[in-house]
């Protein structure tokens, strides 16, 4: 029989064997965020479309080409979130979190949706770990956010990352830069792609981010934002660089980084890996000092980043990192007969209530099939219950790795016996010389 359907293009299922890797990454990210004083926020998967039109920018590829937008039954325009910052800003303002003291520091795990060409490292449904900090204009805040990402990568064991930073200035110095870009690119209108021609008048900085080889080649000779920074923006950028140097985080200044969303100001940065072959941006972010006010809040500096979970996992797998925490069944209780099946079921339940992973047969299989299943699920110990064991109140607990057997009670006292046997086996595994000496 043919499958009714398959997962939509650009999406993927995360199966149990892989979800353990995701949980490990999430644990590391959550621990690092808590260490640095960030609290978790969870926002809806969809928002009113105007939120993204205003925040992301109507001239961006995200808004023009990639958003999943539809009308709901109330004829309201709704959009699946294409990124995490806009929803976090909306929630921070709607619930007045800024009244609780500044800076407000938030983190989130979020799924995002963009309709673009599905390929390795670029999905239509993807996941991000993001952080946002509201209420600090200090370059120290920039350095802390960058350092948080760097610490996550270090704890995960991701190697050979390069940090690239740039400043794209404030609205005042950017206006001068925009005029210089228009003048420069106007000499190439006969060569620019159709998309970049539309960007020329509305937002020429977007041309610097074009993936067309022709446009990218033209952009190589374009003016650099760093040459147009005002005194305040220049001083701020120097402060970011000095702060990173103070805490030993190496970086490279890349004047071509502009980021793909309109809300960015001043500092922008990217962590790039070549572990999978071509350069891959795994984390990116920066400042968006005008966005909070643009969305109806008070004038408030802000910054953050988004870290691609799928991309981080791609890099770890390319490095052959062992992320999966093995969580096997501690005890599998096989049963022979109906009465023994109920006893095994009750015993497994009591073990789980005590915090011990336990399983028993629920398919009515024979003993051989039950033991084969115990091996498949990686049970550390197995035990067989039958009429004889129920009569005597004792059974044999077998170490599935070593084959060693222990006679144990199956009623009161089993938990204590099992804990003692498990501790002894752990000691033998960690210190095999103790077992040799004992012999």
For residue 358, give the CATH number of its domain: 3.40.50.800
Kindly state whether residue 388 falls inside one of the protein's structural domains: yes
Does residue 210 lie in a domain region? Answer: no
Whether residue 292 contacts residue 170, with contact meaning beta carbons closer than 8 Å, is answered with no
Distance CA 182, CA 204 (A): 6
Cross-strand bridge partners of residue 268: 166, 286
User: Do 241 and 110 reside in the same domain of the chain?
Assistant: yes
Please tell me the total count of domains within the chain: 2
The reported pLDDT for the residue numbered 61 is: 65
Handedness of CA 353, 355, 361, 366 (dihedral sign): negative
Handedness of CA 277, 10, 67, 133 (dihedral sign): negative
Any domain includes 134 = yes
Residue 31 domain-assigned (yes or no): yes
Q: Which CATH number characterizes residue 158's domain?
A: 3.30.930.10
Of the residues 261, 294, 318, which one is the last residue of a structural domain? 318
User: What is the Cα 48 distance to its own chain's centre?
Assistant: 24
Residues 35 and 112 both lie in one domain: yes
pLDDT given for residue 9 in this prediction: 93
pTM here is: 0.86
Residue 177 in domain: no
343 and 259 assigned to the same domain: no
- Residue 58: per-residue pLDDT: 64
Regarding whether 397 and 353 lie in a shared domain, the answer is yes
Q: Are residues 246 and 394 in the same domain?
A: no
Domain assignment of residue 112, yes or no: yes
Q: Does one domain contain both 142 and 263?
A: yes
Co-location of 270 and 335 in the same domain: no
Residues 164 and 286 in one domain: yes
User: For residues 287 and 302, what is the distance between their CA atoms, to the nearest angstrom?
Assistant: 6
Domain range holding 365? Answer: 331-421
Residues 339, 314 share a domain? no
The span from the CA of 262 to the CA of 174, in Å, is 12
Nearest one of 333, 306, 297, 323 to 414, comparing CA atoms = 333
| 48 and 152 part of one domain | yes
Last residue of a domain, one of 295, 318, 341: 318
Whether residues 387 and 261 share a domain: the answer is no
pLDDT of residue 436: 54
pLDDT tens per residue, the chain (439 residues)? 788 999 999 999 999 888 989 999 999 999 999 999 999 999 999 999 999 988 777 656 677 779 999 999 999 999 999 999 999 999 999 999 999 999 999 999 999 999 988 777 789 999 999 999 999 999 999 999 999 999 999 999 998 899 999 999 999 998 899 899 999 999 999 999 988 998 888 888 888 878 889 999 999 999 999 999 999 999 999 999 999 999 999 999 998 888 766 788 999 999 999 888 888 999 999 999 999 999 999 999 999 999 999 999 999 999 988 776 666 799 999 999 999 999 999 999 999 999 999 999 999 999 999 999 999 999 999 999 999 999 999 999 999 999 999 999 998 889 999 999 988 888 887 666 555 554 4
Q: Are residues 261 and 346 in the same domain?
A: no
Beta bridge partners of 371: none
Domain membership flag for residue 214: no
Domain-located, residue 178: no
Domain closes at, from 272, 295, 318: 318
């Amino acid at each position: 029989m043919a499958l009714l359907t398959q997962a939509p293009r650009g999406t993927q299922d995360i199966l149990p064997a892989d979800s353990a890797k995701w949980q490990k990454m999430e644990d590391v990210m959550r621990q690092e965020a808590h260490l640095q004083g960030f609290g978790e926020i969870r926002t809806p998967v969809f928002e009113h479309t105007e939120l993204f039109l205003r925040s992301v920018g109507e001239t961006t590829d995200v808004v023009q080409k990639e958003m999943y937008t539809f009308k709901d039954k109330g004829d309201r325009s709704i959009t699946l979130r294409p990124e995490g910052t806009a929803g976090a800003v909306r929630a921070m303002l709607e619930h007045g979190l800024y009244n609780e003291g500044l800076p407000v520091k938030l983190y989130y795990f979020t799924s995002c949706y963009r309709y673009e060409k599905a390929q390795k490292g670029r999905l239509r449904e993807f996941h991000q770990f993001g952080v946002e900090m509201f209420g600090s204009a200090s370059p120290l805040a920039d350095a802390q956010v960058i350092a948080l990402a760097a610490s996550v990568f270090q704890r995960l064991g991701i190697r050979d990352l390069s940090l690239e930073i740039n400043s794209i200035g404030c609205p005042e110095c950017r206006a001068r830069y925009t005029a210089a870009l228009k003048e420069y690119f106007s000499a190439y209108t006969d060569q620019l792609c159709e998309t970049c021609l539309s960007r020329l008048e509305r937002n020429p900085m977007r041309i610097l981010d074009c993936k067309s080889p022709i446009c990218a080649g033209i952009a190589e000779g374009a003016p650099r934002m760093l040459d147009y920074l005002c005194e305040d923006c220049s001083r701020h950028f120097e402060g970011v660089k000095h702060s990173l140097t103070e805490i030993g985080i190496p970086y490279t200044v890349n004047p071509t980084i502009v980021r793909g969303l309109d809300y960015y100001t001043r500092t922008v940065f990217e962590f790039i890996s070549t572990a999978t072959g071509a350069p891959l941006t795994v984390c990116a972010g920066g400042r968006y000092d005008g966005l909070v006010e643009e969305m109806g809040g008070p004038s408030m500096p802000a910054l953050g980043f988004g870290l691609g979970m799928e991309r981080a996992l791609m890099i770890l797998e390319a490095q052959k990192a062992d992320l999966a925490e093995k969580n096997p069944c501690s005890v599998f209780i096989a049963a022979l007969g109906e009465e023994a099946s109920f006893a095994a079921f009750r015993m497994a339940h009591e073990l789980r209530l005590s915090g011990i992973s336990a399983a028993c047969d629920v398919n009515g299989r024979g003993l051989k099939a039950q033991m084969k299943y115990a091996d498949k699920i990686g049970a550390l110990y197995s035990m067989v219950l039958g009429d004889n064991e129920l009569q005597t109140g004792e059974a044999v607990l077998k170490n599935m790795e070593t084959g060693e057997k222990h006679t144990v009670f199956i009623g009161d006292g089993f938990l204590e016996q099992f804990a003692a046997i498990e501790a002894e086996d752990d000691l033998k595994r960690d210190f095999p010389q103790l077992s040799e000496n004992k012999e």
